[in-house]
Structure 1
Amino acid sequence: MKILASLAAISLILCAPAVYAEADPATNTSSGWYVSSQSVKKHNFDVWQLNSGYSYSVAPNLQLYLSTSLYSGNETVEPTRGLTSGIKYGITPRVSIESAVTTSLSSTPEDIQNDEKVASPVSFEVSSRFHITENVNVHATYDYESVEQQYILGIGYRF
């Protein structure tokens, strides 16, 4: 847990100057630090996910990335921290596919007082994205975890 928290803190500190570069692997094909956030729809609007990490362009249309994740919690969902590694391939400038492996760690307030951690299962994700315009995209995701599987279809808007 301390290692994940340290990685998240280091990533956030190092990312601060590069936030405006927007090297998020979901939206860009350049190498660099990135920070992104989104609401987690399966747990209502009041649960948020914050990602920070580094993406590296192996080729003009192929990226590898490593990121840390922090999920806020609410009265029904425990806060978690995670580590994600993945690959993104740009088929065309408007169409991309991506796969990722994520591990996470969650703790209840009682676990934190007792310095105990609960490892969550590893999840696998495959997604595709089609950019209709520079700011609007359509995406489809399949997320597999041992306790649940999800299909997500959505429309994204980039500010």
Structure 2
Amino acid sequence: MVKSLVIALVSVFALSAQAADWSFLQNDTDSQLYVKSYSGVLLGSQTHPSDSFDIWLINTGYQYPVEEDISLYMEAGPALGTRGDQAGFNISSGVRYQLSPSLNIGSQVKQLETSKPSTLVELNSSLLLTPQLALTANYGVSPFSTEQFLVLGLGLHF
């Protein structure tokens, strides 16, 4: 009984999604697939003060513009720690605003799953050095704990 009710609800939602007007998202000429390789995540509560970076991230993302200077995006990738117990993954989604042709700022919500899961609200920025290479910086805080993260890295866009 429950299984058939779930199937019926999923069918109704699927038909509703097909009937919705998604044309505002169909601007494929400016869509962009990218790889962002962070040089490291500098944790706010480091266990070893001599360690500069604790976790390394390599994300693949996709963004598409919804307005001329505003893009929505989603990223995901592995998280590799300096110690074996820090391996995991991260996923984030957010909004970017293009301040100039070479500078953008944004905000995102990130889920970082390593030895200790963290949910972060982040402010981020990216400075394009070339059309394919960008310097990135993110500052995140956890709404559920006192964790703070500073992320510095390079982004490769293609």
Matched residues, number:
118
**How far off its partner does 1:138 sit?**
6.6
What corresponds to 2:12 in structure 1? none
Which residue does 2:65 correspond to in 1? 57
Retained in 2: the 8 A contact 1:35–1:50?
yes
Please provide the CA RMSD for this pair. 3.4
CA displacement 1:117-140 (0-9 Å, x = unmatched): x6x121011023455x53787765
* Residue of structure 1 in register with 2:147 after alignment: 148
Give the corresponding residue for 1:134.
130
User: How far did residue 147 of structure 1 move?
Assistant: 3.6
Q: Which runs of 5+ in 2 are unaligned?
A: 1-29, 43-50
Describe the SS at the equivalent of 1:60: coil
Larger radius of gyration: 2
Query: How far off its partner does 1:97 sit?
Result: 1.1
Question: Could you give the per-residue CA deviations for residues 64-85 of structure 1, whole angstroms, max 9, x where no partner exists?
Answer: 0111121112327511212110
Q: Which amino acid aligns with 1:148?
A: E
Change (3 A) 1:129 1:80: same
Query: TM-score, with normalisation over the residues of structure 1?
Result: 0.57
- Please show how residues 29-108 of structure 1 align to structure 2 within 5 Å: 30-42=30-42, 44=52, 47-75=55-83, 78-106=86-114
Greater RCO (Cα-Cα under 8 Å, separation 6 or more): 2
Deviation at 1:44, TM superposition (A): 4.0
Are the aligned partners of 1:39 and 1:46 in contact in 2 as well (CA < 8 Å)? no
